[in-house]
Structure 1
Amino acid sequence: MGHITESSWVPSVTLRVGVGTPDVAALLLGADGRVRGDADMVFAGQPVHPSGAVRHSGTSLALALHEVEPEVERIVIAGAAGGGHLAAMAPDRAVVVAYLIGNPEGGEAVVFGEFYRESGGWKFTGIGKGYTAGLAALVTDYGVEVAEEEPAAGPSAPGLVKQPAAGAAEQPAPGLAQRPAAAGPLPLAGVAKGPAGNGAADGDGGHPAPSGTAKDGPAAPDGGGRNGKGGWAASVAGRMQGWVSGGGDRTADDGGGPGAFGPDFKPFTAKGEGDSVVTAGPQVPAGPVLLEVTHQGSDSYIGVHALGEDNKDAGSSLFSSQLADFTGSTVTEAPEGRPLRLRVAAYNAWTVRVRPVSAARRLRGTLKGYGPEALLYTGGPADLTVDFKGNEENGGYVSLWTHPITDGGVLSPSPTLSLSKPGRQLATVPLPDGPLLLLFSADGKWSLTVRELGL
């Protein structure tokens, strides 16, 4: 039995995913439904994907859906069958997926469900398929080559792997064990792999190395009970808030593909912790660019300023927020003749990503989000309803700047301040004919609904 709608949208943010047991793994699949190599399996013994977008931490997985490589179409969540449930939490601690699998047919391992791409966003669907032959049979179905296990003196770990023979130098962590450094099949026995090394990663348009300085986000609820009355799985459904983000199509055939809203280029990513200066790579050309920022921590602050030719703050801040587990995007101009440089002031671990403006979400129907976001609207005259519930103290602030896009100019010299109010808001504002860049900001969760007038 599941407590989600089939094929439910989930927000394209960093989700904390738990299944009530530390024996949980993620399999990153291509369009053919198979892993590209052993590195596409993330588990306790191999805790960080090379892209940094998927991590195993303690008893849960962190899936940064907005950072997953475009070649990855699906992320399968699997593990020991004892958990009986799956839950995913957004950075604001909203439970966006709660799925109960009951008692799957099969004994030792189970596919709980999968996250998959659709229309530029992400959806989740529950599966609940059990494997009597254990995790080795499960991962083999998705293209992982599993080496035969060596006989072990001790008993096997519950439902997953065998322990090494007595007298081994180190004992494995519960769950799967290390992928060897050399090429070859993935063994299900051996010494667990350690965490990634320290140091920030400066992206070159490819996939940045994971930063060992990053701290864990909000933990998934502990598995206080299995799938039964009074257990964790029963209580999580009652805590669901029904907040599931709209997809936000980024690839629709609306004349807004790559290059339509400024230059097209290979994305740039940088990661770090605390105060720093980021210099965008040479692939970022002059012109309007989409700037995406994440920042971890509940008691935190993040501020981002563009640096001018004199290496001082240029204009007002691009971001300045105390939101917990902050995620935000905006549009700024990369300068001509010199690289885009940004001053970051932050308490904790952060990620800065520079992408083409065309990568921003399209505003269609209803979109939901958290914090500031740059959106593209390509429809006709419309009414836009803004639903902002306020922050934890029912305060906060909401604003909307509307930039008409004309003659290739994305950031209008004369934008319209369509909304600027403190506190909880349920307001409707008019939108002119698109294309438009909307720079929306709210101190928490929000919902936007657009209704074209047909004029």
Structure 2
Amino acid sequence: MGHTVRGSWVPSVALRVGAGNVEVSALLLGADGRVRGDADMVFEGQPVHPSGAVRHEEASLVVELGAVEAAVERIVVAGSAGGGVLSAVAPDGEAVVACTVTGGPDALAVVLAEFFRESGGWKAVEGGRGYASGLAGLVTAYGVDVAEEEPAAVAGPVPLTGVAKVPGQAPPVAGAPAAWEPVGAQPGATAGEPVGALFAPPVVGGPLPVAAAAGQVAAPAPPGPFPPADRPYELVEGWEFGPVFEPFVVEGRGNDVIQLDDRVGDGPVLVEVAQEGRGYLGLFTLDRRNRDETDFLLNDLLPEFRGSTFAQVPKGRPLRMRLAADHRWILRVKPLAAARRLEGTLHGYGPELLVYRGGGADLRVDFQGSPEDGRGYAGIQSYGVEGRTGGRLPAMDLLLNEIGPLRQTVPVPRGPQLLHLRAEGAWTFTVQELD
């Protein structure tokens, strides 16, 4: 375990950042050193940044540096105490940052560390600036608008103005019954297998049961043979957005660079990936300089990973992607029109890109949570593509942005829509179209 020094490089992976029992929060800053709005503060009461790149989980932060928006230049990690022992741990368990920070005898809050961009990567530096006015004084210094009714000196999370937190479902407690059942199931019924799963036969046998007691987490069903069989190649009738081409398939083991050939025209395409076993899987597009683009495509630790997303084929050059994997994998690139259709009730496991062609609807979301700890992230982004045949995807609407098991209903606009789901566990969607 090393100590950070000014200018220490850190890998652009998902880091778990914590300081023991000290409650931590994050501030995402622009080039002017200030937040762009209250949404750029991540803490217990507002646990997920809109980009999904920073999350608050059980008194610590998960910071996915590779997913941070380009407009964010620095990330400040603050603690609601006079100091603490900060650590940032990579997915492989290595502590890439470790330091002891003290803000002074009168400090009620302290800057524990900062991550900042340099030369296309990220560096870390230990903090030490203490605030006698507490966390409220600290976040105000970075442009956060603190609610007027809150006293200036506080030792816990600070209420923010303009923040609307949609309540999720709390994790199950010891002795409580399971909080999740498949939609339409009778009490105590066993979940069925996914309908039309991403890869067939399904590797995960339907949604996973939530642990009935604290500390107990159900494991996925035993996987089938690898690589999993592909779904039948069918295009959504009447879908016009994105290039049409014969599927592109490649298999490998470990890290690799994948380049599509010139038969794939420019525009967004569907990317399906599966990995054998338990380990890390990341997928990133490469720019003209052969470096990672700002946004990741996939960044997961789900066991027996099966997932899909979209990638943008650039105009005038082939799509190149960097895949980081621990085990055997298979990757398939298809037209967007080959994505699974969102109709009726749909089961899945992990991230997935879905096509919706119905009218305005209510979407019932049942999210199981992570198979590792029963929590996990679930987010849904929607892209309206009516009247579009090519080019880039339009601006997205954020339909869901939550941590932990949940059962919620969210409104879905009239199709055609692409729904981009990021989920760290099993889920069930049920669509109820409006009259």
**TM-score, normalised relative to structure 2:** 0.48
Q: TM-score scaled by structure 1?
A: 0.46
